[in-house]
Amino acid sequence: MSENIAAILPELWVAFGQTALMLGIGLTAAVVLGGPLGVLLFLLGPGQSLANKPAFVVLNWIVNTVRSFPFIILLVALVPFTRVVAGTSIGPLAAAVPLSIAAIPYFARLVDQCLREVPRGVIEAAHAMGASELQIVWRVLVVEARSGLVLALTVLAVSFLSYSAIAGVVGGGGIGDLAIRYGYYRFQTDVMVLTVTVLVVLVQILQFIGNTAARRLDKRG
């Protein structure tokens, strides 16, 4: 083990915790807010039970617009809002604000796409039996699409792990911040390799957990 790596190990554990915090807040916001938003987007779409073209067009435009922003630009653009919400513009809590805002429409689109995979006949059968919209959402749509939803959440987690690393560019903390401060500014290549390796391992773990859970929930299996 090199001297550089030995010296930053304590900071690496702190950075790991900061990354986990940012990812946890972002994913929670995505599930709590982005999930219902995706369901609403699906229900308002053409041919669905709550079809409303004007509302669908507006909501669809908002989701697409926020998703189209490169994260680094969104991160900077939201600095004033982040200061209001978190009281600061640096640190993991501050970075979690733009992460959450980016995660909500991202997951909403993934949810919308998953629900579109549910067979139309299953939904129509639930309507014919007199099920309410809420019952159809919880007992039909979510149940039928649960495997895809887990994979969607896995995709989101992997993508936003890299986003959390980008947050390190503006002092957001986490593994990305460690890589930039030591690996880039101080030219410590071994530290850069270590942080990249940690991120790769985390991605592999997240993907494995997501794939395993989705496979167990897939009725077709």
92-118 residue pLDDT tens: 888 889 999 999 999 999 999 999 988
Number of Cβ within a 10 Å radius of residue 209:
13
- What is the CB neighbour count within 10 angstroms for residue 37? 21
User: Where does the pLDDT of residue 76 fall: very low under 50, low under 70, confident under 90, or very high at 90 and above?
Assistant: confident
CA distance 221 to 200: 29
C-alpha to C-alpha distance for 154 and 209, rounded to whole angstroms: 8
Please tell me the predicted confidence (pLDDT) of residue 47. 83
Give the pLDDT score at 90: 82
Please name which of 106, 93, 193, 114 lies closest in space to residue 158, comparing C-alpha atoms: 106
C-beta separation of 133 from 125 below 8 A: no
> What pLDDT is attached to residue 220?
58
Q: Would the pLDDT of 1 be above 70?
A: no
Residue ranges and CATH numbers for the domains of the chain are 3-217 (1.10.3720.10)
**In contact, 172 and 91? CB cutoff 8 Å:** yes
What is the arithmetic mean of pLDDT over 117-131?
A: 84
* Type of residue numbered 147: S
Give the pLDDT band of residue 201 (cuts 50, 70, 90): very high
Per 3-state DSSP, what percentage of the chain is helix, strand, and coil (rounded to 5)?
85, 0, 15
Q: Taking each helix axis from N to C terminus, what angle separates 3-29 and 92-115, rounded to the nearest 10 degrees?
A: 50
Number of Cα atoms under 13 Å in the Cβ half of residue 209? 11
Higher pLDDT, 10 or 211: 211
